[in-house]
Amino acid sequence: MISGYSSDENVEELNDHSTTQDEEDLHNILNDLIGHEHREVESTPLDFLELNIFKNEEGSQHDSDTNSILAEESAKLFFDRYIQIDKGNDEPLFHSKLKHFFILSSAGKPVYSMNGSDDIIIGYMGIITTIISTFEENMQEDIKSITVGEDVKIVALTKHELIFVAITKIGYESMSSSNNHEEDSILVNQLNNLYHYLLSILSRPTLEKNFHNRMNYDLRKVLTPLDFHNLDSLCFKMTYGLQPHGSDPIGFDYFMSQLLGSSLQNIKMTNTTRTQLNNILLSSKKLKEDKKESDKLSSFFNIKRDDEEKYIAEDLLFSFLAVSSKILSYLKPKNHNLSNEDISLLISMIESTELHEPDSGEGDLWMPLCMPQFNQNGFLYVFVKKFMLSDYIDTGHQKQCPPITIILISGNKNSFFEMQEISKYIIRKLLKHESFKLKLYKELLLSTKLSVLHDIKVPVIKHFVYKLTKTNQYIMSDIAHYNGERNINSCIQLVYFYSMLRNTKVTKVFKPQGSHKIMHPFSNKKLTYSKWNNVTGFMLCDDTFEFYCLCTEGVDSKDLISHSLKVIKWCEKNYKRLFIGNGVSF
Amino acid sequence: MSQGNFAQFKLVLLGESAVGKSSIVHRFVKNTFDDMRESTIGAAFLTQSITLPESKTTIKFEIWDTAGQERYKSLAPMYYRNANAALCVYDITSKASLIKAQDWIKELKKQAPEGIVISLVGNKSDLTENREVEEGEVDEYIRQMTEDGSVIITSECSAKTGDGVLDIFNKIGRALPVEEAVGGNRSRQAGRRPGGVDLGRTNRQQTQSSSCC
């Protein structure tokens, strides 16, 4: 239970439209911050090039004031030249890329490079190993980061036999944050994600053993084309919130999750439905063997069976119901938990297996996966089944909700058929009652598209993110409401604005002594504000939540505060619908 | 079961990565082909049925499509341990992949249940101009391997064009101990592993050895 959030008294107050003392305080502070600045900016659809997001690059400002077709063209040229992953032999193109990632062995053998062919990168591998080993030998210290001029930042992470390097020319990544985050934490996190990916497919002992046998070991030999694809995809979505060579910004969820500190995205769902889903998962754990069949079997094999019945789900550790990358319901043992980092790895891995076959509904997957934070020394076994709820509903119209993914994680590599049995049970339960089936279907149709206009009715806010600090889970509005389109352009802008907002210096809000009207008992509010060409960004947080939003141009500071508070109150009021909390335990 | 018979068998695909195991399965199960297919992680489990007209038997295959990558090798026994049939797949444009497929046959002969129906399949038969493996070479290998009287089914196919894919599964269907499976439903159940009951190998071998071939 979140302190004080759902008591009736508070809800009452939240619905109160009169300006509270808090709102007034915030408004005053924001006004001081803005300095009563009020600019009217021409309202045109924004192109990411016009924002000058990527400074000091030729071409970034070209043609921005000519007609829109040219602008679109130049945006595409810019994107292909500076952003898009390219593994070719073109050296000038390689150098123009704004972001690089390298993974190499400490002996200097390349494992992975985001851009460039082997011929191009091999020389740099030598330079990197030289710099790193010089630091290690002379200063007995791992090198962390190098800043070249004002524009280029190089961050390195060494993990035993592997070196991970990120080089960025992107302003929002290389600027040192003025907030409390550790320096370069975003880039270091990105490198850790790459390391965790390798751990997840190989596990720590395998990595160690291979390098122990031969320092000169070529890790690439054990990586599959899918692994390289996944590394590309990780690098790209961590940096730009996009998928390489794809136009749908499906990497944005992952980007935000990283920016918010491995926060887990949830899906909106009524509390009754979620509770029912939780109960289905919980009951699946107690599923017993079909006695008749097993009796037949044991007599056939002359197996002496214990008198007590066996639980099918004995080896089941964690279960998830998910829709795309968002978790609907989560089952775990009382004394164990999966970290958000591990869950996000798991989800990415599952997403990667279906990139080319959205209709993969028929196959059940069984894959070994190491969850680095849960246990980096061993594998868990993941059963994955896609389930199209729409197939079982006579809807008349063509609307389809995305498939539900059933994820069952077992500690036993031989338990595939048990997990398959459990998944069948879960599906039976989902379909059992007509009314529940329809309710779930209707909610899923809406759930992936949280609307600032329909759900919350805050017209000045174009996009928002709300994170619950306690459980480190977040929700955000549909990217489609930001620019009217879910495309690369909108995505890059959101990535930029939210990154900048995170980096902007915050102002702490101190409650004046003697203030008697206190909305949140442990209020420790901070806020920040940023203005770009025609977008205003605003952040407000306290001990329990973080709220970020982007608003239309020329928004009045009073509206900004009142609408933001409206969203925050809405989130607080609906928190049971919005967040899965700690899941359900057995 | 008045109209024809029904039998269920487990089948596993083995072979080097990128020879086209998943593509063969998807051609067989969904009649689709994707040039950009990603490598398999772990294994995928799919089912598909065929009907043998001469015996009016419907055979349901439970198919394990395994990952070819070396790092998943330790999992392979779990998939072939209960299998009734195995497809060892190579790529006709890669000699190395044939050697790998032969290694799998060797391993199956040693470790798999007795009576398992083994098939050596050369995929990508549409890429004739890049052919590295001649059919004569395969025949010679099979002659040596079957001197002891065992049977290995050979064929070539193209998952891309669909040529020869269904044929492989029909051939395997005919080689499987269908009568036995239909009769007592025995091998059908032996293949299953319901919860918690550990079907030891000794037990299964007994049931397998009583099958034909």
Tens digits of per-residue pLDDT, A296-355?
Answer: 554 555 555 554 568 888 899 999 999 888 899 999 999 999 999 999 999 989 888 765
Q: Calculate how close chain A gets to B164, using CA atoms only, in Å.
A: 22
More confident residue, A244 or B61: B61
Question: CB A368 to CB B18 under 8 A?
Answer: no
pLDDT tens per residue, range A531-556: 887 788 999 988 899 999 998 877 88
Residue B84 has pLDDT above 80, yes or no: yes
Rounded percentage of chain A residues whose pLDDT exceeds 70: 78
Per-chain mean pLDDT for chain A:
80
What pLDDT, on the 0 to 100 scale, is given for residue A582?
A: 84
Residue A116 has pLDDT above 60, yes or no: yes
Instruction: Output the CATH code of domain B5-208.
Output: 3.40.50.300
Asked if A28 and A558 count as a contact pair (C-beta separation under 8 A), the reply is: no
Three-state secondary structure call for residue B43: strand
Q: Which residue of B has its CA nearest to A225?
A: B39
Residue B205 has pLDDT above 60, yes or no: no
User: Which of A226, A297, A356 has its CB closest to that of B194?
Assistant: A297
Domains and CATH numbers, chain A: 8-37+450-578 (3.30.450), 83-259 (3.30.450.70), 269-448 (3.30.450)
Q: Which residues of B touch A312 (CB under 8 A)?
A: 195-196
- Helix B165-175 with B21-30: angle, nearest 10 deg: 90
- Helix A8-15 with A557-573: angle, nearest 10 deg: 150
Question: CB B38 to CB A226 under 8 A?
Answer: yes
Question: CB A222 to CB B75 under 8 A?
Answer: no
For Cα atoms B67, A214, B102, give the angle at the middle one, nearest 5 degrees.
35
Q: Which residues of A touch B41 (CB under 8 A)?
A: 201, 224, 226, 349, 353, 365, 367
More confident residue, A520 or A260: A260
Rounded percentage of chain B residues whose pLDDT exceeds 70: 84
- Pick from B1-10, B63-72, B191-200: least confident: B191-200
pLDDT tens per residue, range A166-183: 999 888 887 755 554 556
What pLDDT, on the 0 to 100 scale, is given for residue A301?
A: 52
More confident residue, A457 or A365: A365
Give the model's confidence band at B119: pLDDT under 50 very low, under 70 low, under 90 confident, else very high: very high
Torsions phi, psi for A284 (to 5 deg):
-65, -30
Residue A361 has pLDDT above 70, yes or no: no
User: Which of A201, A355, A413 has its CB closest to that of B75?
Assistant: A413
Per-domain residue ranges for chain B?
A: 5-208
Per-chain mean pLDDT for chain B:
84
User: Which of B42, B45, B194 has its CB closest to that of A294?
Assistant: B194
Asked if A113 and A102 count as a contact pair (C-beta separation under 8 A), the reply is: yes
Rounded percentage of chain A residues whose pLDDT exceeds 90: 37
pLDDT tens per residue, range A215-231: 677 888 888 888 999 99
What pLDDT, on the 0 to 100 scale, is given for residue A520?
A: 46
User: Which of B41, B192, B196 has its CB closest to that of A353?
Assistant: B41
Tell me the C-alpha distance between A345 and A155, whole Å.
22
Strand order in the sheet with A473-476: A264-265, A473-476, A461-468, A545-551, A535-541, A526-532, A507-508
